[in-house]
Chain A
């Protein structure tokens, strides 16, 4: 085979090509797009809003009356609540991801670049925070503050940045020893410029993967905290706090527990699939590629 033939058979966007062959990742992306679209424009197609109380139709099972997916203990439309809750849960997941990736990247990059005492102190701090089971820490912090959407987002971010920091640190540590870093030092670049313009762009791939997985984790954590009563507070609906009341009515109205749980699982699974696909696509040596 000639060199040109080999070149022709090589896809122009190898990462995109590998990603497109990852069936689960594509399914994940598909579900995420559908969920986001449904939550964004869906509520305007539902004839009820999420607060509207319809006491004559309370505990209506799905597909058995005017409310498509049934109603809860106050007769509120479950579909409308699921979609509005999805807005909260999904955007909270993305916001928490951005904050924790930001914090984790900065901590990891600084620790990896400076090494020595600074690096040690920062990384031991990371180890120490990781010693706490995140749900314990999350609940304690959530119980101490006034639980609003913003506070819960911040708290979830606060318990999710450590893995990113570890990964960024390991990446930067490896890159610091490379020649291009020495070159940047020689031409007189400042430390900040070297860290964030030279080193960090080379470490983006694993951070991107971690970011996707953190969205999944944040959605999951929100559902835990809200289910246990310390997260998003009613009347604002989130997938987690919709499940809080559901346990009481498990025998009489199981759909109240079933539907929000399926929504959480669907969203979290999709983001995990996406992360898995990204990892395989970005790392050609990965075993699944």
Chain B
């Protein structure tokens, strides 16, 4: 277990390093580099730009700048927003909660709905339900998330008036009930794609388990179907879902960005787009790197949990 943990941690650290390298390159490959925003400001002279470059350490060689940047990153100094000079990390952390709430709600929907749909599909394989769900899942994976959001807003907010058309609540915050009411729309939209993915994986995981010898044995012993289902099939089929949850993280984060924009949900995704609009590169870079870190961390967590949950894979 320790050896596995150490190896897996080392891999994650390597990935983190590569991620920072890519992030740094993206920032510096941009035409004009980190100064492009100032270069467009009227009344900014060449001398001013030079002075800024020196102040920001941009006159030094790239490898040096990279080390400086990574050093600051490690010390929690992620730079300051161009917009109001507040620390990037503080800006991000003021928004990350809303995104996590949205992602959790969507995942909850996906796990429950996708799990049940996938399980029924596997048990009643090739039935009408299974076929409809198979096609439905593929269509759901093809629908642009933002467009589905627009449709949900049009139907449930504009036509029926059941759901608020956006935001996480009235200005100044409301009760928990108000918050949940606002959460339904975006969570449903974000949950759609994940539900489709989960139902597909759940179905094939169930089919895999159903074909195993120990299921036949359990049935042969005369165990009731319900118990075989709950105790043997479902428990084993749910194990690989831990990995799926980890692998789905980038999609979920990207989907959150789009969903937040459509529903004006005050999370990281909205912050990212706003910052992009203001050319606020420190915040953009911070979010880019942080999302990659979240993905790496999530996958690490999923792998470790999987080993803990499934004693059979200890440990090649």
Q: Do A and B interact with each other, yes or no?
A: yes
Main secondary structure of the interface of A (DSSP, over half): helix
B288-A137 in contact (CB<8A): yes
A residues near B150, Cβ cutoff 8 Å: 243, 246-247, 250, 257, 261
| Count of residues in A whose CB is under 8 Å from the partner chain | 46
**Bound-state Cα–Cα, A247 to B146, Å:** 10
A264-B144 in contact (CB<8A): yes
**Bound-state Cα–Cα, A250 to B291, Å:** 31
User: At the interface, yes or no: B22 with Cβ under 8 Å from chain A?
Assistant: yes
B262-A135 in contact (CB<8A): no
A265-B254 in contact (CB<8A): no
B158-A128 in contact (CB<8A): no
User: At the interface, yes or no: B261 with Cβ under 8 Å from chain A?
Assistant: yes
> Would A220 and B250 be within 8 Å (CB), given that A132-B19, A139-B276, A228-B258 are in contact?
no
> Would A228 and B147 be within 8 Å (CB), given that A124-B18, A133-B254, A140-B284 are in contact?
no
| Count of residues in B whose CB is under 8 Å from the partner chain | 46
A residues near B262, Cβ cutoff 8 Å: 247
User: At the interface, yes or no: B251 with Cβ under 8 Å from chain A?
Assistant: yes
- Which A residues are within 8 Å of any B CB, using their own CB? 24, 124-125, 127-137, 139-141, 143-145, 216, 220, 223-224, 227-228, 230, 240, 243, 246-247, 250-251, 254, 257-258, 260-261, 264-265, 268-269, 272-273, 276, 287
Closest 10 CB pairs of A and B: A128-B18, A261-B147, A133-B254, A135-B254, A268-B142, A144-B30, A269-B142, A131-B292, A133-B253, A133-B250
Please name 12 pairs of A and B residues whose Cβ atoms are closer than 8 Å in the assembled complex, sorted by A.
A128-B21, A133-B251, A134-B250, A136-B287, A136-B288, A228-B258, A257-B147, A257-B150, A257-B151, A261-B150, A265-B147, A269-B139
- Beyond the given pairs A132-B291, A250-B150, 14 more chain A to chain B contacts, judged by CB atoms under 8 angstroms and listed by A's residue number, are A127-B15, A130-B250, A131-B292, A131-B295, A134-B254, A137-B26, A140-B284, A141-B26, A144-B29, A243-B150, A246-B150, A257-B154, A264-B144, A264-B147
- Which B residues are within 8 Å of any A CB, using their own CB? 14-15, 18-19, 21-22, 26, 29-31, 135, 138-139, 141-147, 150-151, 153-154, 158, 204, 207, 250-251, 253-254, 257-258, 261-262, 272-273, 276, 279, 284, 287-288, 291-292, 295-296
